Amino acid sequence: MSDLPETKLLQLFDVLYEVRSVTKAAGRLGQSQPTISIWLGRLRQQVGDPLFVRTPGAMTPTPRADSLIGPCREILSSLSRLTSAESAFDPATAGRRFRICMTDASHITLLPPLLARVRALAPGVRLEADRIDSATEQALTTGAADLAIGYAPWLGGVIATQPLFEQDWVCLASPRHPRVHDRLGRRRYVAEGHVSITAGTGATLLHRALTKQGIERRVVLELPGFLGLGAIIGSTDLLATLPRHIGTTLAHGNDLALWPCPLPVDRFEVGQYWHPRFDNEPGSRWLRDLVTELFGSVATAG
């Protein structure tokens, strides 16, 4: 074990952080459980920290482990690119991981069709969804993330951008709403109770539009994201104002009424973002082309 490559320890740390189990890590890495325990002991000795402590049902990472997982994954990603010597990317045989930063709305609208297409074309490829936030630019720059998809106007500087589709705003209501029947006008909109989604990069545009028009909605419920929104709207007389793509998806999935937003709210453009260092990297280019095929102008307004 004295000649154990450092990359094996990095791979162990990465997998163990994900699965939180020595047994599962052994299966993932194709090693015996005693071997993984020995490797973990070596890793703990080198780092000078237990890294994972046993708790009921799992192994919980220590604060030191939380601080190291990002740099560890950046190193593994860089090593993967260095050793693959890719003159081409063959999705049918590729065994690669792509990390994509996206909003929780994109988890509902974009991730399912993207995952389905990746599984059909590249069964050995693994996708990881991460948040799109203030750390995304650094992640794209270092290669810790391969791609970001969403509305992220703060991703400036040298980050490359490709527009995908434009979003306007819609309102969701129960089809059995007692006061909204054949239309949703401005006066009715202002008079009704609302669910406010506080997260999402487009929420700032909605807030700005309401403030500019001097409108203060009667907010009954605030949610940090879209989880559970469809069921809430379907079982109450509340309204929700949200971008068209997520609104249409929730309306179809929960049998909700969909109305044009009766107030003027700025449109915005959803795009994909990457660092120009990876313009010609075959795997990254394949992924971007796939995203364009699926979502460019919402696949020609499909």
pLDDT at 2: 43
Average pLDDT over residues 192-197: 96
To which H or E segment does residue 271 belong? Answer: strand 268-274
pLDDT at 57: 80
Tens of pLDDT, residues 13-55? 999 999 999 998 888 888 888 989 999 999 999 999 999 999 8
Helices 282-295 and 111-121: crossing angle, nearest 10°? 130
- Map tokens 């929780």 to a residue: 104
The encoded tokens of residue 237 equal 């007389």
Q: Residues 181-205, buried b or exposed e (16+ Cβ, 10 A)?
A: eeebeeebbbebebbbbeebbbeeb
When the pLDDT of each residue in the chain is averaged and rounded to a whole number, the result is 90
Is the full-model pTM beyond 0.95? no
Contacts of 92 (CB under 8 A, 6+ apart): 121, 122, 123
Q: pLDDT band for 217, please (50, 70, 90 cuts).
A: very high
The encoded tokens of residue 266 equal 């700025």
pLDDT at 28: 84
The encoded tokens of residue 144 equal 């810790």
Residue 2 vs residue 165, higher pLDDT: 165
Contacts of 173 (CB under 8 A, 6+ apart): 180, 184, 233, 237, 239, 256, 257, 259
Does the pLDDT value for residue 300 go beyond 90? no
